[in-house]
Structure formats: C-alpha cells, structure tokens
Amino acid sequence: MQLMSESKRFPLFAVIVGAFMMAMAVVLAYVLIPRNVIGDALPPITLNDQVPKAFGGWREDPYGSYVLPDPGVQRELDALYSQVLTRTYVNDIGQRVMLTIAYGKDQNSEATAAHRPEFCYRAQGFAIKTVGVNDVQLLTGRLKVMQLIGTSGSRVEPISYWVTLADKATLPGWGRKLSQIAFGLQGKIADGMLVRVSTIDPNQEHAFKVQQSFLQDMAQAIPESLRPRYFGS
C-alpha cells in the first residue's frame, strides 16, 4: 500500500517540477528580450551628412552607373533600413567607385539584419563569384572585407563589402551571428550598417587596389569619433 501511494505521488511531483521549469523558461525568455537600443547611446548616424561628397581627390559623380534593385527588392529594403546612401565617386584620372551604405537601427536578428550584396546582385541578373575574405589596409588599421565578382554580359564588377554591429566591423555568417547573440544576452539591440564599394573593371586586382585607395581616403574623411561606426574599432 505504501509503494502504491508513493507511485501516485510521483506523477504529481513530476507535473509540479515540469510546470515550474516551464514558468522559469517563460520568465527567463522575457528577461532576456533585448530592450536597450545601442544606437540611442552612440553617435547618431546621418549618412548623407557624415559621408562627404568630396574627399582625398574623389568627388561625387552625379552620372554614376550603379545597380538599382527591382521594385520588389526596393520595398523590402525600405522596410529593413533606416537610411540608404548610394553614390558614385570619380577621381582626377577618371577612376570610379560606387558606394552604397545601408543603415538599420535594429540588427538583432536575421530578419532585420543587413542583406548580403550577393542576393541583390543576383536579383538583378548578375552571376556572382566569391573571391573570399581579404584585408584592406586603412590608415586606421586592417579591415576584413568580403570580395566578390559580379558579371552581367560584358559588365564585370568587383565588389568589396563588410557589415558593422554598433562600433564593431564583422562579416555575414557566424561572426555576425555570434555578435548578435552576445549583444542579445546583454539585453542590447545593436544597430549597424552594410558598406559596399564596387568598380566596373575586368581587372579584379586593379579594381581592388582602387577600392582600397578609395576606402583609405574615405576613412580619413569620416570624423574620428564616427569612424568606428563605419569601419569598426
């Protein structure tokens, strides 16, 4: 009789423990919801004002030829990003670099994170070849960038890009995901941006050197207090 009564009590104990664990999981999930928007505490981003139209021998070319997303992709980008800056720059010897910066105040999840250029270019009919991750040497330090080659007919467009979370530079994939998790566990919502430069040039080695020169000048032109927001610290 005693064994039977103990066996009846055990399922009740298990139910109580299970309910307690579920309740704790709900409470923990609520506590860990990120609520602190990092972008509110860091220097604010105003792309059009902070990125000069002329610097270091480069000036804006109003007749630039850059890839524009189709209307469907554009609607998605408008919903995802707080600000988008697209410009073409030209220097005194006629070299041109296309710059796109997309800034979003919430980079906390894959649903809100910056879209990879690979997707945008493929949506426009480009074939994309991945060159790989390379270092760009800036006067402020080394910057890791993802490099691609986009091809559409006779147009060959080497591309370099990176993303930032708050004031840290990273790349899409596990690096960015781990940073998102780290911010989330601290209850923080990171803002961030995708920075992309490209050049129409069949010689990829030459194109990437031109892009490096452009980025060196751009980094110097951005106010020092804001550089980590664009290039990482």
Per residue in 75-95, pLDDT tens? 665 666 778 999 999 999 999
Q: What is the pTM of this model?
A: 0.76
pLDDT (mean) for 146-170: 93
**Would you say residue 2 has pLDDT above 90?**
no
Distance CA 102, CA 91 (A): 23
Mean pLDDT of the chain: 79
Res 24: pLDDT: 44
Quick: pLDDT tens for 99-109.
999 998 765 55
How distant is the alpha carbon of residue 233 from its chain centre?
A: 15
Res 33: pLDDT: 46
Torsion of CA 166, 115, 100, 158, to 10 degrees: 120
**Would you say residue 19 has pLDDT above 70?**
no
